[in-house]
Each structure stands twice: as C-alpha cells, then as structure tokens.
Amino acid sequence: MADAPSGADVVNNGALLTHEDKIIAVGSAEEILMHPSLTNASMLDRIDCKNQLLLPGFIDCHTHLVYAGDRSREFEQRLEGVSYEEIARLGGGIRSTVTDTRHSAQEDLVRGAVSRAKRMCSEGVTTIEVKGGYGLTLECEQKMLRVARSLETVLPVSVHTTFLGAHAVPEEFSGRSDGYIDLVCSVMLPEIAKEGLADSVDAFCENIAFSEPQVRRVFEKAHALGLPVRLHADQLSNSQGARLAAEFSALSADHLEYTDEAGVRALKQAGTVAVLLPGAFYFLKEQQRPPVNLFRKHQVPMALATDCNPGSSPVESLLLILNMGCVLFGLTPREAVAGITVHAAKALGYSDRGVLASGKRADFSVFEVESLAQLCYPVGTREPSMVIQAGNLVSKNPKP
C-alpha cells in the first residue's frame, strides 16, 4: 500500500494487517511482511494498493438522516429574502418536517434513510451518527430512532443514535415550551433510555428553540440516566451554548459560528469536540465563520460533518464537506481529514476507530490519490476504489 495515515500522519510505502474485524498491525511494508502472526504467508489475502492512499473509515458525526418530505418551498422563500429564523417563527422550518415525519410510515422513513446512508457509504463512510428530533412525541421519536438503528442491519455501517427531543417546540405545545420540556424529561427520555434506543442526547439551544435553563434540565436528566450529551450550540447567535455544553462535559458542541473565546476555553477544559458544519453555513448563507483560529490556539479538536437534514444542510457527501471545510473555514487538508476520522470518533465517544492502528476496528477505504490535499481538492464526490468495514470488503470499484 502506498500510504497508510495513522490519525492524520501519512506513512509512505505502508502496509496494514487485519484479522477478522480488527487491525492487528500497521507499519512499513517490510515490517508487516515480517510480522510474527504471518507464519504461513500463503494464507495471506493480500490487496495491493500501490499508488493509492489508505484512510481510516470516515465518520459522519452529525446527521439528521431520518426524515420525510423536503423543504424546497422554504429554500425558495429564503431566496426571496425570508430568513431561516422567520420561517421557523411562522411555524415552518423544523416543524414542517415534524408534520411530514409524523405522517410517514416506518417503512417509508427506512427507505429514505437507507438511500441517503447508501450514498454516504459509497464515499467511504463507515460510521454515522443519526439524530431523532423530527417526531417530538414519544411514539414518533421511537419510530425515528428504530429506523436509525435498523440501518446497521441493512448496510455496512455502524450507527450512533442520538435523542434530540429538545429540537423544536411542537405545535401542540405552542407558548408552553416548559411543559414540553417536562414531557421530554419525565416521559420521553426515561422511556428512550429504558429501550436502549439512544447512545447520546442532543438539544438545540437558540432563541428559536430552547433556553439555557431548559437545556440544562434535559442534560441533567440525560446524565441521571447515564447518557452523554452533545449540543447544537451558538449556530445563529451567541447563546452561551459552548459554555453550557462544556459544563455538562458534552462529547461535542456543534455549529459554533458565534462562540467567543471564553466558550472555546470552556470546550478545551471539558475535552469537548468542536463539530463544524460547513454545509449549514453555506446553505443558510451565514456570514459569521466559526472561530477556527481560537480552536487552534486552544487546541480544541475540530470535527467536520454533513449535518444532513432537509432544512439547513441537504448534503449527503462528506467528501464535499471536506472541501467546504477547507474553502469556507480555512482548514488545512490534514485538519479536514482529521475532522472526519480521529476527531469525529472522539465526538461520538469512540476510541476504537478513526485511526489506523493496531487494535482498532478494521474500517478503512482506499483512494486513488497521492495526498490529503488531492482528496480535499475536488468540489463534489470522488469514489474510493475500495471500502472495508469491520474487516469485510464492502465495495470495490475497478480502476478506470
């Protein structure tokens, strides 16, 4: 194999040895061929990846993959000058996807989610985080999270599910958002946790969504139930979301366009990953960029994700996001690739993937490129020549 990046370091003329679903050694081709476990070299299933780049399986650590309907009418409204916040205040936005998702049968939600996830997998994604948050009733949130979990049974991908009950105030609770938070904390969260439907809990802290005290209640309940938290923070205004996420040792704080230096320091202290979402930044024509230089200065790990959703980021390509992270946010190719591998794994609380190292999951893909810059450079998709998930070859595209 030409290059075997461990984390974001590129190894030339590298090789990698796997057994079942694990990597057992990574090193130079010479070292690997001398590896003690290779007593009978003829037993080897060897794949030559000469002049190609071998990368850890990509991790999309922030998606709203399960939903029904589309929001193209709102897209037109925004082109006519109506803002994302105004549309939400008028009862559209997240609420309109909630209406469609509530009316959608589980099989139809599965169909939509599978087709989106399939496209992600074809680019080398081997782990996806999937949020609920378009149901906003116990039954509909259960339906969404069951659909999310089912993806693992039909596609070569691992799924991390996130309960996002505090995404928007549902119509039936208009003017009674505290009452809705009561329902989230006393009924929805305990039931979702009991059924093991969620691996983490998210909330949307913003003036069009939930206040700091309301999010605090959700997070306290999540912790009481043993679930880690993450937060949609400081996306449209500085609502002190980063600080709040850090206070609860959140796995990640996401968006962060309006986060100030005190918020960045808090993230650093808490070990919280900053998840940057250039798809939403682009699609909402946001002018304020997340404070990338402050994340660098304070050494806060930065992840990148699609935020795939029908309202603010109808994007299914993590490779496009890699390019957007570089062009829109000024990340280096190395930072961008770390953002969809090692740092994305940390954002999901996983230490068993995201790097090519002995003992990690055998999730990786092979691209016909010579450098990380070449991977990040095209605007749009680029198919890997091979994807391996949990040690199994799941796709192979013949060289042209």
Binding stretches for Fe ion (CB under 5 A): 307
The one of ligand NIG, Fe ion, none whose footprint includes residue 204, by CB under 5 to 8 A per kind, is ligand NIG
Helical axes 138-154 vs 106-122, angle rounded to 10°: 40
Length of the chain: 400
Name the residue nearer to ligand NIG (CB basis): 235 or 341.
Answer: 235
Tokens 């900053």 sit at which residue? 274
Least spacing, CB of residue 391 vs ligand NIG, in Å:
33
**Segment (H or E) for 52:** none
Amino acid symbol at 208: I
Q: Residue 367: phi, psi to the nearest 5?
A: -120, 145
Which residues 6+ apart lie within 8 Å of 41 measured at CB? 33
Least spacing, CB of residue 189 vs ligand NIG, in Å:
19
Amino acid symbol at 105: A
Least spacing, CB of residue 64 vs Fe ion, in Å:
6
> What is the distance between the alpha carbons of residues 20 and 25, in angstroms, rounded to a whole number?
13
Cite the beta strand spans of 261-363 per DSSP E.
Answer: 273-276, 302-304
The one of Fe ion, ligand NIG, none whose footprint includes residue 311, by CB under 5 to 8 A per kind, is ligand NIG
Name the residue nearer to ligand NIG (CB basis): 18 or 306.
Answer: 306
Name the residue nearer to ligand NIG (CB basis): 58 or 204.
Answer: 204
Name the residue nearer to ligand NIG (CB basis): 15 or 303.
Answer: 303
> What is the distance between the alpha carbons of residues 142 and 163, in angstroms, rounded to a whole number?
9
The one of ligand NIG, Fe ion, none whose footprint includes residue 93, by CB under 5 to 8 A per kind, is ligand NIG
Report the chain's C-alpha Rg in angstroms: 21
> What is the distance between the alpha carbons of residues 51 and 370, in angstroms, rounded to a whole number?
7
Instruction: Classify strands 392-396 and 386-389 as parallel, antiparallel or unpaired.
Output: antiparallel
Name the residue nearer to Fe ion (CB basis): 94 or 140.
Answer: 94
Name the residue nearer to ligand NIG (CB basis): 308 or 386.
Answer: 308
- Which residue from 158, 117, 193 is spatially nearest to 391, judged by alpha carbons? 158
Name the residue nearer to ligand NIG (CB basis): 2 or 68.
Answer: 68
Q: How far is CA 52 from the centre of its chain?
A: 26
Least spacing, CB of residue 273 vs ligand NIG, in Å:
16
CB atoms within 10 A of CB 289: 15
Name the residue nearer to ligand NIG (CB basis): 277 or 386.
Answer: 277
Report yes or no: 193 and 227 within 8 Å, Cβ to Cβ: yes
Least spacing, CB of residue 161 vs ligand NIG, in Å:
16
Cite the beta strand spans of 305-363 per DSSP E.
Answer: none
> What is the distance between the alpha carbons of residues 369 and 388, in angstroms, rounded to a whole number?
17
Closest CB to Fe ion: residue number: 307
Q: Residue 326: phi, psi to the nearest 5?
A: -75, -50
The one of Fe ion, ligand NIG, none whose footprint includes residue 142, by CB under 5 to 8 A per kind, is none
Least spacing, CB of residue 67 vs ligand NIG, in Å:
8
Name the residue nearer to Fe ion (CB basis): 123 or 307.
Answer: 307
Least spacing, CB of residue 17 vs ligand NIG, in Å:
39
> What is the distance between the alpha carbons of residues 84 and 77, in angstroms, rounded to a whole number?
9
Least spacing, CB of residue 64 vs ligand NIG, in Å:
6
| Residues engaged in binding ligand NIG (CB under 6 A) | 64, 93-94, 97, 204, 232, 235, 280, 307, 309-313
Least spacing, CB of residue 199 vs ligand NIG, in Å:
18
Closest CB to ligand NIG: residue number: 311
Name the residue nearer to ligand NIG (CB basis): 257 or 335.
Answer: 257
Least spacing, CB of residue 256 vs ligand NIG, in Å:
12
- 12-22 burial by CB neighbour count: b if 16+ within 10 A, else e? eebbbbbeeee
